[in-house]
Structure 1
């Protein structure tokens, strides 16, 4: 019996969790992501953009739900193409879509356990991982409750629990704060910061203030193209007193959107 080194047991790391080059993705017949160049590493990244900007389509492509129509997509060091082992990539992913399906008669614990099984987690690790995920989203006292009895905000937290149960290297959260009250949103921001220490977390949201408070990197897209990527301070610096918004970050966002639209009209 040989001794196993620390290097062999350490988690696999990648220079970039997400790397795209001229990525194109269709939503039906519409080219919703059009020539996107994007690189994301460890940390919390906020994805902003108006309705119809391509945010959800991009998230679905990164979750390997949609196949790219062109360009290059690399996730966790592996190119996503016709030869990719999607099952292996998906073991390292966590994904919360805008609307996620669930079985109403399942309890919180049963549902998160079921999702852990779908993610092919080792059987021995599942009970502890499920309990930890439920506790992290503040539902330990409702672990035995059936999903059909939960409020919309609680269901959203169950969705977050299933997304993080496998400690994903790449976590994709599409509008995760919908239905959360102000206190729960504050707790969620703290959870995001904790998750971003070791993982790449991408959060799509319309709430600019959530991005500024919880994210170290801001990505903004419009019409499927990259408009801006930088720190929250960089975002704030884009705006001025004459721009629309109730906060410096919102004014920066509206200024970027206004300039992008003006450029597209020329």
Structure 2
């Protein structure tokens, strides 16, 4: 007998995860974070940082500690002191981060791959490592390679690609699991101007529902793609604010070819003049 008490809304299965409230205020939250590299040097030295949905630029000179911070947020390195929460979970100490890593996308400056793999095989392999459900992998891989403009090269071997294309394959593996946190370390290295433009468009799309942190030393990448900027120097944040606020910190007396570059130069020379930061 047909049960007329079941309406259309009752026929749709909804998991507890779909209706559960978000249990954290920030996707990334660090307090007094310190990370030692080697025996003595603190590459991250007392960082307070709170980042939510959007595209955040991590800007700073070479050697500032940006890569160490990104690696720590990716759970590759352990904090030496302080607290770090990712998606509401503690990321300090010796805890197993397997479940957390499923929700993180990470592109390091240098990443390894089997040269005989095709682009599709490489991204499939990374999806498997991230424990994307087997049935979902083909579709997830296709979406990822399309988003980085490699659909027409998906069945070419990695060893046959240019440096910029390898970088785009690296971005594809970082987004294949639809991460809640996306960490990109110098993602535009090797990309030509047209590819950088498409990448910025992709960042803006991803930032609508993802916490994206982009480490770079290219000020103009920040201007075009980021909703806010963290200026990082000697292991510490010396500025947090919008690109417009960064530009306003400089003047004609400071080095740079654009207002953003002049603001960048001014703040690195004199962090005490920061105004309106969060």
Stretch deviating more after TM superposition (252-261 or 159-168): 252-261
Alpha-carbon distance between aligned partners in 2 of 1:193 and 1:118, rounded to the nearest angstrom? 27
Deviation digits for residues 110-158 of structure 1 (CA, Å, limit 9, x no counterpart): 0000000000011111100000000000000000000000000000000
Q: Spell out the pairing of 1:161-240 with structure 2 (5 A cutoff).
A: 161-240=172-251
Alpha-carbon distance between aligned partners in 2 of 1:87 and 1:202, rounded to the nearest angstrom? 21
Instruction: Assess, with a 3 A threshold, how the Cα gap between structure 1 residues 244 and 64 changes in structure 2: closer, same or farther.
Output: same
Question: In the alignment, what sits opposite 1:257?
Answer: 268
Question: In the alignment, what sits opposite 2:31?
Answer: 21
CA shift for structure 1 position 160: 0.1
Stretch deviating more after TM superposition (75-84 or 228-237): 75-84
CA shift for structure 1 position 4: 3.5
CA shift for structure 1 position 81: 2.4
Instruction: Assess, with a 3 A threshold, how the Cα gap between structure 1 residues 246 and 154 changes in structure 2: closer, same or farther.
Output: same
Question: In the alignment, what sits opposite 2:162?
Answer: 151
CA shift for structure 1 position 6: 6.8
Matched, 1:120 2:131: yes
Question: In the alignment, what sits opposite 1:50?
Answer: 61
- Equivalent pair of 1:78/1:84 in contact (CA under 8 Å): no
Alpha-carbon distance between aligned partners in 2 of 1:71 and 1:179, rounded to the nearest angstrom? 35
CA shift for structure 1 position 184: 0.3
CA shift for structure 1 position 261: 9.3
Could you say what secondary structure the match of 2:270 adopts?
helix
1:9 is matched with which residue: 11, 18, 29?
A: 18
CA shift for structure 1 position 8: 3.7
Could you say what secondary structure the match of 1:106 adopts?
coil
Could you say what secondary structure the match of 1:226 adopts?
strand
Structure exhibiting the larger radius of gyration computed from Cα positions: 2
Give the alignment's Cα RMSD to 1 decimal: 1.9
Instruction: Assess, with a 3 A threshold, how the Cα gap between structure 1 residues 12 and 63 changes in structure 2: closer, same or farther.
Output: farther
Flag structure 1 segments of 5+ consecutive residues without an equivalent: none
Alpha-carbon distance between aligned partners in 1 of 2:77 and 2:121, rounded to the nearest angstrom? 28
Deviation digits for residues 82-109 of structure 1 (CA, Å, limit 9, x no counterpart): 3634001100000000001111000000
TM-score by length of 2: 0.90
Flag structure 2 segments of 5+ consecutive residues without an equivalent: 1-9, 274-278
Instruction: Assess, with a 3 A threshold, how the Cα gap between structure 1 residues 11 and 199 changes in structure 2: closer, same or farther.
Output: farther
- Equivalent pair of 1:32/1:53 in contact (CA under 8 Å): yes
Instruction: Assess, with a 3 A threshold, how the Cα gap between structure 1 residues 126 and 12 changes in structure 2: closer, same or farther.
Output: farther
1:97 is matched with which residue: 108, 133, 136?
A: 108
Question: In the alignment, what sits opposite 2:142?
Answer: 131
Could you say what secondary structure the match of 2:56 adopts?
strand
Alpha-carbon distance between aligned partners in 1 of 2:263 and 2:240, rounded to the nearest angstrom? 12
Alpha-carbon distance between aligned partners in 1 of 2:17 and 2:171, rounded to the nearest angstrom? 30
TM-score by length of 1: 0.94
Alpha-carbon distance between aligned partners in 2 of 1:186 and 1:229, rounded to the nearest angstrom? 24
Question: In the alignment, what sits opposite 1:75?
Answer: 86
Could you say what secondary structure the match of 1:103 adopts?
coil
